[in-house]
Chain A
Amino acid sequence: MALSASSPWVALAYLVAGVLFIMALRGLSSPATSRSGNRYGIIGMTLAMVTTLVTHGVASLPEIIGAIAVGGGIGFVTARRIKMTDMPQLVAAFHSLVGLAAVLVGWAAYLNPAAFGILEGAHIAAHSRIEMGLGIAIGAITFSGSIIAFLKLAGKMSGSPILLPGRHALNLGTLALIVGLVGCFTQVDDLWVIAAITALSFGIGFLLIIPIGGADMPVVVSMLNSYSGWAAAAMGFTLDNTAMIITGALVGSSGAILSYIMCKAMNRSFLSVIAGGFGADSGGAADGPAREARPWKRGSAEDAAYIMKEAETVIIIPGYGMAVSQAQHVLREMGDQLKHAGVNVKYAIHPVAGRMPGHMNVLLAEANVPYDEVFELEDINGEFAQADVAFIIGANDVVNPAAKTDKSSTIYGMPVFDVEKAKTIFFVKRSMGGVGYSGVDNDVFYMDQTMMLLADAKKMVEDIVKALAH
């Protein structure tokens, strides 16, 4: 062993790794600096891993290298192959792995406390037991919660909420029991205590996420992101490791802030999202007297092509429907053709568009849309009054004026795009039947200046591109 684990140089190395992680996030303040930020993250991780290996007795290096190679290979190939539209479920799957790794590390530390230096006499130090118990609990919740989030996002499980009777009492009771057991663990370090904490936490993670609807997933994914950070931080306390503590705090705050941004963009409280039940398939349609047949106009791809070519400014508002039909590439082609015709094309993105924060931005970037043509809600909302065309593709609730005017609406108070101020509105939608996930009817469908383009988003935009070529 070259260095002892307690040497100040080791602590310094972990601290440097922590600082490199801070710089990795700092780089993301602009796309221009983001890639160097990612490199800092890689250097920090390498430093943390190498430091650990040189300062601890390694019984069998080939086994360790083998484990890293197997995991790294799987991770790398997955990252290369994954489609950008599948990014939300990939992130959820990755969260689940962090959670499970935290649980395993906690168990390993429990079974071999000497290796972790957490023994006080013959027993594990009491404060280490609290940290270990919390780390295992948060890790297990992150794991099972992320599995459910993954299944919902990947469409392998219905996105609609599953509501168990008495779920609030059940959930709160289980959480209280877990906290009680962690307390108990400081007194009794028997195997059954830690096993019970693990089992109950797996259960509660599952119960917490099944009542949450598919459209609330941006909040859930951010929240699980936050949990995975707190789990790492708790383990960092157990191991007195500054790199883990700094990272845990960073990731924990990052996820918490993203959850807050998402909730604010939907005008919902975090508690109401967590309580779940929103976006149920039934219910929404029944409470709206607005479902009577109102006149609306159907447009064609040729109409859209003709009007947009003559326009001065076109603002495109993409939503989850664009991701579902993979329309981002052909949408960019449409944008290019319009730009060639001298039209000023801009993209407007709502914070909760898609299934995770920034989902639409990634898809547009994938389709080579320059990021300086893509605008956030507050930056572009003033421009609809001067815009000739608002082109809505796969979005619905984020353009619903009911959020501004109808106090009884479930989406009232949510910030939305002022599309109704544009001279012409094209609304690409699969059919008139479906409404947004909130189940609220949208007055925009029936406005004088609105033309409904009813088709699959990709097919419709392809037709518009063909029509523009003429």
Chain B
Amino acid sequence: MDFVSILSIFVMACFVGYYVVWSVTPALHTPLMAVTNAISSVIVVGALIAGAASGSAVSKWLGLLAVVLASVNIFGGFAVTERMLAMYKKKDKK
């Protein structure tokens, strides 16, 4: 893809992010941070490419270490978000 199309996606995504995040209820701001944390670990894609490639041993080990770190975040982030969200309950109807 050329740079301008990539940049367009980025700019549009910033606007989407702006509107989506303003619609998040303040009560869920902590889960929001936890889940954004988990999804920003999509950087694992880069780590997997490096870890899977042959060619440079140093690059491979850096990649694998990055896979470990990003996986901590992915599993930890989604699990802790799930745990928090499960706690939000409505009033019992009597």
Residue of A nearest to B56 (CB): A112
Residue of A nearest to B49 (CB): A56
A105 touches B47 (CB 8 A): yes
For chain B, the bracket of interface size reads 35 or more
Partner of B76, one of A11, A75, A244, A366: A75
B25 touches A240 (CB 8 A): no
A71 touches B63 (CB 8 A): no
Residue of B nearest to A76 (CB): B75
* A442 interfacial by beta-carbon distance below 8 Å: no
* A290 interfacial by beta-carbon distance below 8 Å: no
Binary per-residue interface labels of chain A (88-108) against chain B in the complex, 1 for a CB within 8 Å, 0 otherwise: 001100110110111011011
A105 touches B72 (CB 8 A): no
In the bound complex, what is the Cα–Cα distance between A454 and B75 (angstroms)? 42
Shortest Cβ distance from residue A231 to the other chain B in the assembled complex, whole angstroms: 7
A98 touches B13 (CB 8 A): no
Residue of B nearest to A71 (CB): B71
Contact A244/B30 with A79-B75, A94-B77 known, Cβ cut-off 8 Å: no
A104 touches B33 (CB 8 A): no
Partner of B40, one of A28, A29, A98: A98
B46 touches A45 (CB 8 A): no
* A197 interfacial by beta-carbon distance below 8 Å: no
Contact A257/B22 with A105-B46, A249-B13 known, Cβ cut-off 8 Å: yes
A52 touches B45 (CB 8 A): yes
Partner of B82, one of A35, A258, A365: A35
Binary per-residue interface labels of chain B (11-23) against chain A in the complex, 1 for a CB within 8 Å, 0 otherwise: 1011011101111
Known A-B contacts: A45-B42, A71-B74, A107-B59. Give 15 more (CB < 8 A).
A24-B39, A25-B35, A31-B88, A41-B38, A44-B39, A71-B71, A71-B75, A78-B80, A94-B72, A115-B49, A248-B40, A250-B39, A370-B92, A372-B91, A376-B27
Residue numbers of A with Cβ under 8 A of B are 11, 14, 17-18, 21-22, 24-26, 28-32, 34-35, 37-38, 41-42, 44-45, 48-49, 52-53, 56-60, 63-64, 67-76, 78-80, 82, 84, 87, 90-91, 94-95, 97-98, 100-102, 104-105, 107-109, 111-112, 114-116, 127, 221-222, 225, 228-229, 231-233, 235-255, 257-258, 261, 349, 351, 356-359, 361-362, 365-366, 368, 370-374, 376
24 contacts between A and B (CB under 8 A): A24-B39, A25-B21, A28-B35, A29-B25, A31-B28, A31-B90, A41-B78, A57-B54, A68-B67, A71-B73, A72-B75, A74-B76, A105-B47, A112-B59, A115-B49, A116-B49, A240-B6, A241-B46, A245-B9, A253-B18, A257-B22, A357-B30, A361-B30, A371-B90
